[in-house]
Amino acid sequence: MEFPLGKPILAILATALLSGAALVCMPPTPASDLTVWVFADSHARTYRSIRDSFEEETGRSLAIDDVGDSINIRLASLFMAGRTGNALPDAAEIEIGNIGRFLRPPVTDVGFLPLNQYLETSGFRTIDSPLDPGESGWNARCTADGKIYTHDASHWRLNPNRARPDAWIDRIIPARFTPWSKHGVIFGVPHDVHPVSLTYRDDLFRQAGIDLSTARTWTQFQDKCAAFQDYWRTHGVSHRHALELPASTSDDLVIMLLQRHVNVVDDRDQIHLADEKVVKTISFYAQLVAGARSIGAPAESNTGIWINQLEQGEICVFWTPDWRVDLLRRYAHAEALRGKLRMMPLPRFDPDDAPTSTWGGTMIGIPRGCRDPDKSWKLIEFLYLSDAGLDARRNEGEIVSPLMERWNDPICQKPDPFFGGQQVRKLYVDLARQIPPRCVTPMTSVAQITLSIVLGDAVQYVRNRGTIGLEDACRQWLNRATADVRRRIDHASFEKRDATP
């Protein structure tokens, strides 16, 4: 029998009918008791490895949805639509570059639930007896007598003035709550610290007779790098650059500014673009990437490419937050780099600068309209703060935990053969203790874009006129940029601004 519309149409119709029937007959996926949304494969992998323990411990099923980068738009849409209950995940992770938009509404209307109370009333530190080990400043409740003790560097002493033992809020490094807070209200538990160090090709620097690790200031660092480049140029390697440093984007400049405790927009919407430290830093940065003493070259953000640039010795010093070392271990050809790398703290501009900065970050929060916030909190505690969760994360990679007591883990003392036996984890932990706080507001990204413009102007100035008069020019540009960002903040703010310009 002939089908009047022809065989192809018949085939399409049959396929459609069969697929439809298959969809109808497919058993529905059983709904989980709890759902967490993550955006990174590695996070999903880690949480899946401990899901069984969670389900056994709590008797609740857990779905881990790797939503990818669309997590931000999906969550923002759900919050904007005022959805509640099953429509929302029970917990969700957000990357630091995207948190600003979520903090735009007034504190009472942010889509995430304030976590201060949970953080202050759970995770209490306990000791079995005052003979237990501890660290200076810790407060713990003794399970034997129920009293609060404070550690004074040598012993636990009874402290009748202390109302409660340390809770999660005291045990997590305070600087890492800042990006996820608005006016003191905390909306997320930090996943990481992400201290930044510099990783360099020690073999190539040694060949050039330079010990980069002795550079304590950025000026010394530049001198050594300039000498390094000169050495290789005289030896016929003209495409060897010292430091990964772009001339057109402000990402690395922001890292330097954070090192100097400068947030371009702070949590009260105050703009710090025209601060003297910014003027000096941007002027210094411009002559790092342009002019006769340039030591910088842009590296690709694509992991495979920047690692290749390091392997080939095209760019020999890279900014390395802990997550980047993970990538390096995973994707570099071990034989090409093993033992050739070393790591150092960031050189400083002034003695009061931190020897590190921070790059990247993730939080987990509870959507305000979720099914049961208490259950969500238990899930967060398990994934982020329990031994099982933290061990799984340590096994997965290099990431330094924001829970300070984990920094005493003996694994942190282990020498690292990839870095020629250097104690890399110990260095990261030492840097984590000095991490500068980072603020993120809805206007941070706009301010950073404006900073890129000024940087571009400064680089052009150095190329055309050198460094004389550069600081004055930068000051003018930054003043103009401040006025522009102020105007934008005033226009964009939903709330009435209480900060003064």
Binder among 61, 207, 303, 452 for other proteins (CB under 8 A)? 452
Judged by CB under 8 A, the stretch of 29-37, 301-309, 330-338, 400-408 that binds other proteins is 301-309
Using DSSP, state whether 142 is helix, strand or coil: strand
Residues 234-253 that bind other proteins (CB under 8 A): 239, 246-249
Task: Confirm or reject binding of residue 464 to other proteins (CB under 8 A).
Answer: no
Cα 178 from Cα 438, distance rounded (Å): 6
Binder among 64, 71, 439, 446 for other proteins (CB under 8 A)? 446
Burial of 450: CB neighbours in 10 Å, binned 0-12, 13-18, 19+: buried
**Measured from the CB atom, is 334 or 449 closer to other proteins?**
449
Q: At closest approach, how far in Å is the CB of 245 from other proteins?
A: 11
Binder among 10, 15, 21, 106 for other proteins (CB under 8 A)? 106
Judged by CB under 8 A, the stretch of 46-54, 73-81, 412-420, 468-476 that binds other proteins is 73-81
Per the structure block, which two tokens stand in for 266?
A: 């702070």
Task: Confirm or reject binding of residue 16 to other proteins (CB under 8 A).
Answer: no
Q: Parallel, antiparallel, or unpaired for β 185-186 and 189-190?
A: unpaired
Q: At closest approach, how far in Å is the CB of 349 from other proteins?
A: 24
Biggest alpha carbon–alpha carbon distance for the chain: 95
- 80: DSSP letter: H
What burial letters (b/e) apply to 352-391, b meaning 16+ CB within 10 Å?
A: ebbbbbbbbbbbbbbbbbbbebebbbbbbbbbbbbeebbe
Residues 108-137 that bind other proteins (CB under 8 A): 109, 111
Task: Confirm or reject binding of residue 453 to other proteins (CB under 8 A).
Answer: yes
Cα 54 from Cα 389, distance rounded (Å): 10
**Measured from the CB atom, is 155 or 235 closer to other proteins?**
235
What is the per-residue DSSP string for 451-498? HHHHHHHHHHHHHHH-STTHHHHHHHHHHHHHHHHHHHHHHH-SSPP-
Q: Phi/psi of residue 99, each to 5°?
A: -70, -25
| Residue span 75-104 as binding mask against other proteins, x where in contact by CB under 8 A, dash where not | -x--xxxx-----------------xxx-x
Using DSSP, state whether 201 is helix, strand or coil: strand
Judged by CB under 8 A, the stretch of 49-57, 158-166, 442-450, 471-479 that binds other proteins is 442-450
Applying CB under 8 A, the residues found at the interface with other proteins are 72-73, 76, 79-82, 100-102, 104-106, 109, 111, 239, 246-249, 297-298, 300-302, 305, 308-309, 312, 314, 442-443, 445-446, 449, 452-453, 456, 484, 491-492, 494
